[in-house]
Amino acid sequence: MALRQHSLLRGLAIGATAGIAATLVMDQFQKLSMAGQKAMQKHQKLSSGESPWQIAHEQVQQEQKQAAQEGSTEIVARHIAEAAGTQIAPDSRKQAGQAVHYSFGTLMGIVYGVAAEFLPEVSSGGGTAFGTMLFLVADEVAVPSLRLSPPPTESAPTDHLQHWAAHVVYGGALEVFRTLLQRVV
């Protein structure tokens, strides 16, 4: 079997495609994780004798509170819009945040794809090391430093674990998609 030549263009294309796909997988993991967390909280409250109506009422209130809060990607989207001399309509805020999230995931996929093309060691741990590094640098350092979120000390340990797990899933999915795409490109 002949050795493949390193290719910047191949690294870019595969990385971008894998980045989009891995971000989608990460989003689905986060949705599933949040649903599981809500179900567990509901079960704990039911077993302690709380009424189902009260539990449902509290969950609706919590969801409304979370929907009203501006997430870090929404803040970035708002700043980008303001820099472009426009504003994001309130009903488009979540979609704009998702666009930022997918853009960042795609960009990180490109970084990973190009780096792995030239330094295969980057893919060690099946991409999970990259996902962990991304979590530490982006979520734990950059986002709070840029005041896009509260300091890490103000978040529950379970939130950190959940975000770390999501980034590990992203990194693993990134490597799976990169490996599959490399076989066809």
For residue 100, give its domain range. Answer: 8-34+50-184
Nearest to 181 by CA among 6, 3, 19: 19
Instruction: State yes or no: pLDDT of 52 exceeds 80.
Output: no
Task: Please report which confidence band the pLDDT of residue 2 belongs to, taking 50, 70 and 90 as the band edges.
Answer: low
Residue 40 lies in a domain: no
pLDDT attached to residue 93: 92
Burial class (CB in 10 A: 0-12, 13-18, 19+), 117: buried
Residue 41 lies in a domain: no
The structure's pTM equals 0.87
Instruction: State yes or no: pLDDT of 129 exceeds 80.
Output: yes
Residue 175 lies in a domain: yes
Q: What percent of the chain has pLDDT over 70?
A: 97
Residue 45 lies in a domain: no
- The beta-strand segments (E) located in 114-160 are none
- Tokens 């991409």, residue? 127
pLDDT attached to residue 66: 73
Residue 164 lies in a domain: yes
